[in-house]
Structure 1
Amino acid sequence: MTASFSRPVSRRGVLRAGGAAAVIAFGAISVKARAQARPVLKAGDQKGGLRALLEAAGGLEGLGYDIQWSEFPAAAPLAEALNAAAVDSGPIGDAPLIFALAAGTRVKAIGANRSDSYGTAVLVRPDSPLKTAADLKGKSIATNRGSIGHYVTLKAITAAGLKPEEVNIRFLAPADAKLALTQGSVDAWATWEPYTALAEVSRHARVLVSGRGLLPGLSYLAATDAAIAAKRPVLQDFLQRVVKAQLWSYRNVDAYSAALARIIGIPPEAAKLQFERRQQRWIPIDAQVIADQQGTADFYRQVGLIRQPLDVKGTFDTGFGVAG
């Protein structure tokens, strides 16, 4: 029988081993703590929006924070997410922002852009007998409540001398509204890009009335008051990346259109059509932007969609730069 002996371990050796393990464990905890401390931006988006632009332009490289993306089919659910603090920021049109603010959402516009409003339009089937906005009297129009589609509908019919109650507006999400138009259960669909370009390219619809000349063409990057207070440097960096990506996109139209089509899953010709005609540009939040937004608020008050007058000046944060 062979005896087995182990070498005694000194108390000092145990302490050394324990100390080394503690150092390793502390180092691992420190690395984990640093990783956990990395800021997170909860970014809302709409189809064909900021994520596709930033990815195509390489604008997400070298981030000092993480982005948690949430995509929404329209502005209304995005506004609800902002109100619930489910997202920190997101792109939103001038009209949906009015609805969000009137509902008490604690949010501000931190960046503004203008674009050609042609793609915000009232669409009809190719064989529809309707020719002008005045022909919408007594007809049914599908759109999202509080959306820019809702806005262009009201602007189009009032410009044609009609009252809101003289048309039948049905509130449907974009996919449901498109189906309703195609199947003939509504007479028209009021929508925005890229849905307008998709409908035109697929020949499922034609533009009855465009927003050109009716709308100021404003959209915003909005952020919650809480996010502005806690993540201002992150929001400033994110906005600046969006502005730079937009400039890149117009220098690389074909490359961006192809990337946009791939990222959001639409035909390349639709992607290029909606992109080229929008001619979107980021601009400073100046007196004209505020005046135009006030005009939108006043119009919604005039047609009874908001009950109380809304002074929009306090709904902008002008401390964010948009230099290209």
Structure 2
Amino acid sequence: MSGAAAQSQDKVLRIAVQKYGKLVLLKSKGSLDAKLKPLGYSVNWTEFPSGPPILEAINVGSIDFGNTGEAPPVFAQAAGAPIRYVAYEPPAPKGEAILVPKASALTKVAELKGKKVAFNRGSNVQYLVVKALEKAGLAYGDITPVFLAPADARAAFERGSVDAWAIWDPYQAAAEVALEARVLADGTGIVANTQFYLAAQKLLDTDPKVVDVVLDALREVDVWAQSDIHAVAEQLGPSVGLPVPVLELALKRQSYGIRPIDAATLAGQQQLADTFHKLGLIPKPINVSDIARKSGS
């Protein structure tokens, strides 16, 4: 093998996946390697429990591409991470919710005053909590946030050590099915719950075509997923360890269509960033459009 050929075989695209979503479907399809082979790339997949550690991994240079909800990119940008928005999925407001136990006396968000609410720090559901409280006439300081990753939050929720849990699908669907958790409020009329695809700036600087190939492959998976939710749930079930009915519930609340970043979506992100800065959750104001993929990159 020539030196050039050997070098081409050494290029690895490092993709982060969560327990659920289009990237997991793309991984399970096994089609991306063949699409990237002409560019000299293979793929390495790494699972993460949520969005914030994915963007931290991009920040330290161990991941090249991943997807998260709305809030993690804002925290990451405020911290100076070299990330870029490259695409998004339309809003899916029912795909995240504030849950309470079946037997809870709580019936509305306003009753969360003075209560313990579990959620993943820096995640999209933190924004849901902020805006849901605001809509109910409460301030963020009126609750006691309990910062827990999804698995730990579910355990705290089950043993009753928190009063409510803000979480996204498929964990949300699993809690509704297995625990008969009640939805106090989902994102409807409160937040968009938009999913973003993000790439390392270094990847866009060196091989922007690779990002385009991944996005094209994701669009193919997206079309298939939308056309046969039951088949998708059956394929995902073994890999994510969740029953088919749980996944079907989550998939029906998911949005479909993977789109280039646009001004309206960035405006929504800017509102989120401004809200978090006003609350002191990020240390400085940011301009989210600064980290949108530029034309031609």
TM-score (norm 1): 0.85
1:216 offset after TM fit, Å?
2.0
Matches within 5 A, 1:169-318: 169-318=145-294
Structure 1 residues not aligned, in runs of 5+ = 1-28
The alignment's TM-score, normalised by the length of structure 2, stands at 0.93
Distance 1:216 1:287, change over 3 A: same
Tell me how far apart the structure 2 counterparts of residues 214 and 182 of structure 1 sit (CA, whole Å).
26
Match of 1:41 in 2: 13
**Percentage of matched positions with identical amino acids:** 36
The counterpart of 1:145, out of the listed 115, 121, 144, is 121
Contact 1:50 1:91 in 2 (8 A): no
Matches within 5 A, 1:128-143: 128-143=104-119
CA distance in 1, matches of 2:210, 2:289: 24
2:34 maps to: 62
Aligned mates of 2:33, 2:60 — CA distance in 1 = 29
Q: Does 1:103 align with 2:75?
A: no
Structure index of larger Rg: 1
How much is the aligned-residue C-alpha RMSD, in angstroms? 1.8
Counterparts of 1:196 and 1:268, CA distance in 2: 14
Number of residues of Structure 1 aligned to a counterpart in Structure 2: 292
The answer to whether the 8 Å contact 2:14/2:45 transfers is: yes
Deviations 1:106-165 (A, max 9, x none): 111111111321121111111011111101000001111110121111111111111111
Name the aligned partner's letter for residue 167 of structure 2.
T
Q: Quick one: structure 1 residues 110 and 228, their matched pair in 2 at CA, closer, same or farther if it must change by over 3 Å?
A: same
Q: Distance in 2 between matches of 1:42 and 1:150?
A: 27
SS in 2 for 1:70: strand
Deviations 1:144-192 (A, max 9, x none): 1110121111111111111111100011111110000100111111110
Match for 2:233: what amino acid? S
Gaps of 5+ in 2: none
* Shift, 1:318, TM fit: 4.6
What does 1:2-151 align with in structure 2 at a 5 Å threshold? 29-30=1-2, 34-38=5-9, 39-57=11-29, 59-60=31-32, 62-63=34-35, 64=37, 65-151=41-127
Letter paired with 2:20: G
Code of the residue aligned with 1:228 in structure 2: it is L
